[in-house]
Structure 1
Amino acid sequence: MTKRGYHHGNLKQALIEAALSLIEEKGPTGFTLSEAAKTAGVTPAAVYRHYHGREDLIAEAARQGFEMFADLMQYAYDEGQPSALAAFEATGRAYLAFARKHPGHYIAMFESGISPNRTPELSLASNRAKTVLEKAAADLSQHIPPEKRPPASMFSAHIWAMSHGVVELYARNATGATSPFSPEDLLESGIGIYLRGLGLVPQDD
């Protein structure tokens, strides 16, 4: 393997990139910090100057992932404006798109066992992504009569759970589950059924 060159200032990023490639190849527990150092082309001692252990390195990859994820969610939300419905549906699709494009980050964020509360920085990044979806849900829920309106946090949690389930079961195929429908179609139809149940989209004839 060709060693990656680095200079002062980008060693941490080189280590994160090495960890991401190893996470994709071997899973979050399938490599050591020494392997990450070798992949990045540095000595293990150089790694320990920045990270105390593999979990710290994975946590930093997760933090970076959540920052990217939040940016993507915000972009999707903004692109859907001024329609609250389009903005909300776009954030759901962004979840699936992120998992497909950035599998290493996704695994570090959601499959590594690293708590989002491990560091204040990781918690902040995680909450920023969650806040975008809650804002989209809050905007859309204004079209529901107050007496029938679920809390925006519950509304967004349902869609987050649905998106996560489709990604894990069918996009990443983490359990070997199969479906005759694409993950995109499953998510789109699932969100549609949910929103029809809330009276936010017309019922089919």
Structure 2
Amino acid sequence: MESSGSAKRAYHHGDLRNALISAAAELAAAGGPGSVSIRAAAKTVGVTPTAAYRHFAGHEELLKAAKDQALDELTEAMNKELAQRAQSDDPVRYALGSLAALGRGYITFARERPGLFRTVFSWEGEDAEARTASNPFQLLLDSLDELVEVGYLSEERRPLAEIAAWSVVHGLSILFDGPLREFPPELRDQAIARSMLILAHGLSGNGLTPEQEDLLVAEMTTRA
């Protein structure tokens, strides 16, 4: 935590806004989005709330800045795994590895930075359309488009495949932060791998007959 004197010097040089954003991100990392407030961030930096209000109109604006920083960290975690994925001359193998790497980065970030992960998906004061245009979502879209390009995922099966894939990794992330929190690491890894296998099989479309597909669609479609 910065002293009052260092905070005042930062403000003098025009850095108070960034210091408050960093403080808000620290608060979010420790306690989730509910812990972010103008007063708490100002106290962390070592300035008065009045000074903080010169940079942020209110709580929601500061929380939005904290979300943006958390989103950047999630994107970085996913890109890190993407850069470290196994290389392959087989384009299908490589594309599937990319999808798996993105999922691993997402789930790992959620496990290691739960406060920031919850902050990313706090919708208070947010435009839903703006949030789904985020970088992690674009990484997923690009990965699925790559699977189409290499011939693994057909163009007919591509629409909304990102929702199914996102649901798998996000659902696992939530479960491992909740009812499956006590899963031992080896069982958690098996669950992640098994879920990814089921997703990948589903993307290829080789597991069901047309009649079985029709049955599932009918059973899962909301009836009037």
* TM-score (normalizing by structure 1): 0.77
Aligned to 2:52: 47
The within-5 A match list for 1:1-205 is 3=3, 5-6=6-7, 7=10, 8-30=13-35, 32-80=37-85, 83-111=94-122, 113-117=124-128, 123=130, 126-141=133-148, 142-144=150-152, 146=154, 149-151=156-158, 154-170=160-176, 172-173=177-178, 176-178=179-181, 180=183, 182=185, 183-199=188-204
- Tell me which amino acid in the other structure corresponds to 1:36: A
- Tell me which amino acid in the other structure corresponds to 1:73: M
- Tell me which amino acid in the other structure corresponds to 1:144: Y
Equivalents in 2 of 1:97, 1:26: separation in Å? 18
Whichever structure has more helix as a proportion of its residues is: 2
C-alpha displacement of 1:24? 4.0
Aligned-pair RMSD on alpha carbons?
3.1
1:52 aligns to what SS in structure 2?
coil
Unaligned 5+ residue runs, structure 2?
A: 89-93, 208-224
Question: In the superposition, relative to structure 1, how do residues 64 and 139 fare at CA in structure 2: closer, same or farther (>3 Å)?
Answer: same
Equivalents in 1 of 2:70, 2:134: separation in Å? 12
C-alpha displacement of 1:179? 6.2
Give a deviation string over 1:122-180, Cα, whole Å, max 9, x none: x3895322111111111123423647x422x522221211111111121x22xx44564
Equivalents in 2 of 1:54, 1:178: separation in Å? 31
Query: Which structure's CA Rg is the greater one?
Result: 2
2:33 aligns to what SS in structure 1?
coil
Unaligned 5+ residue runs, structure 1?
A: none
Give a deviation string over 1:26-57, Cα, whole Å, max 9, x none: 44234532122112211101111111111111
Question: In the superposition, relative to structure 1, how do residues 76 and 31 fare at CA in structure 2: closer, same or farther (>3 Å)?
Answer: closer
Equivalents in 2 of 1:187, 1:9: separation in Å? 45
* TM-score (normalizing by structure 2): 0.71
Equivalents in 2 of 1:193, 1:167: separation in Å? 17
- Tell me which amino acid in the other structure corresponds to 1:143: G
Quick one: percent identity of the two aligned structures? Answer: 27
Question: In the superposition, relative to structure 1, how do residues 67 and 24 fare at CA in structure 2: closer, same or farther (>3 Å)?
Answer: closer
Equivalents in 1 of 2:173, 2:189: separation in Å? 9
C-alpha displacement of 1:68? 2.7
Size of the aligned set, in residue pairs, is 193
C-alpha displacement of 1:112? 5.3
